[in-house]
Structure 1
Amino acid sequence: MADGIQRKLQHELEKYQALQKDLSKCLSARQKLEAQVTENTIVKEELDLLESTNTVFKLVGPVLVKQGLEEAKLTVAKRLDYINGEIKRYEGQMKELEKTSEQQRETLAKLQHDFQKAQGKTPIKV
């Protein structure tokens, strides 16, 4: 009986570790998006300082291409909207992963308790 519980405990532990890894990946991706928001906000602020007579260039590969000021502002605004949407998506994903992770942690605690009980040991509170 203890062997069956131990196998199940090991399987559930692997699931928990996979959840933690996914959560870590989401957090890392969200941090990268936050950095992009900061960069694009700075670009937007700089574009807002320009007058319509100023020339704006966009870096396309190794080449600078002339671009209209309004077009540049619109591109940056759309990029900010997209990045903020992605951040919200990752936050939702992280909340779901945290909820699942908590449930998994509870399952692990119960299995650990059952395993110790099956071995005839006094369960350790987690």
Structure 2
Amino acid sequence: MSSSTAMHRELQRELETKATDLSKLQKDIAKNHQVRKKYTIQLGENELVLKELDLLNEDANVYKLIGPVLVKQDLAEANANVRKRIDYMSAELKRLDATLQDLEEKQNSKKEAILKLQQRIQSLQAGKAKA
């Protein structure tokens, strides 16, 4: 009977460890969603800026806000900078998507492991009740 109790305690500890791991994964997933949201918003803003820049004539004046000062900038340079930012943000979103997929797969496997452990604990308890 005592070996059954020790086994039950061990399973409980293992369950707590897996639950803690699952909680950490869920926090990482939430953080990923926050960062992804930020990049998505910035990407949309930069795409709007690019559309506006494309509407301008080549001799139009373009200014960039640097700190509290507006600095005149060449249209081609501004266009190139915005495109670089869009490329960077798109690459980051792809990376975040891949990370998210990996985290979700890990989360699902942890949930399955927890479910199996809970079933083992329940069957152990049911075995004790019969004895």
Q: What TM-score, normalized to structure 1?
A: 0.93
Return the alpha-carbon distance in structure 2 between the equivalents of residues 73 and 28 of structure 1: 28
SS of 2:63's equivalent? Answer: strand
Residues 1:30 and 2:30 are matched in the alignment: no
**Residue ranges of structure 2 left out of the alignment (5+ in a row):** 1-6
Residues 1:98 and 2:104 are matched in the alignment: yes
Displacement of 1:120 in angstroms is 2.0
Residue 55 (structure 1) aligned to one of 50, 57, 61: 61
Between Structure 1 and Structure 2, how many residues are aligned?
Answer: 121
Matching residue's letter, 1:85 = A
Q: What TM-score, normalized to structure 2?
A: 0.90
Structure with higher helix content = 2
Return the alpha-carbon distance in structure 2 between the equivalents of residues 115 and 14 of structure 1: 18
What RMSD over aligned residues (CA atoms) do the two structures have, in Å?
Answer: 0.9
1:83-122 to 2 correspondence within 5 Å? 83-120=89-126
Q: Higher Cα Rg: structure 1 or 2?
A: 2
Deviation string, structure 1 residues 83-117 (Cα, Å, up to 9, x no partner): 00000000000000011111111100000011112
Return the alpha-carbon distance in structure 1 between the equivalents of residues 54 and 24 of structure 2: 45
Moved >4 Å (runs of 4+): none
**Residue ranges of structure 1 left out of the alignment (5+ in a row):** 122-126
